[in-house]
Amino acid sequence: MEKVFKESDGIIYNGGAILYAIGAYFMGFYRPI
């Protein structure tokens, strides 16, 4: 049970990191130089 919970936490953390990276990329892309 603990292992499943930890794996789920890792998936949520990785997903958040990916969304954050995509958001930062688009913010930088649309930002005027």
Give me the DSSP letters along 1-33. -HHHHHHHHHHHHHHHHHHHHHHHHHHHHHS--
| The predicted structure's pLDDT at residue 31 | 63
The count of domains in the chain is 1
Encode pLDDT of 1-28 as tens digits.
Answer: 566 556 666 666 667 788 888 888 888 7
| The predicted structure's pLDDT at residue 10 | 63
| The predicted structure's pLDDT at residue 16 | 78
Q: Using pLDDT thresholds of 50, 70 and 90, give the confidence band for residue 32.
A: low
Please state the φ and ψ torsions of residue 32, each to the nearest 5 degrees. Answer: -65, 140
Asked whether residue 29 carries a pLDDT value surpassing 60, the answer given is yes
The whole-model pTM stands at 0.41
Quote the domain boundaries for residue 3: 1-33
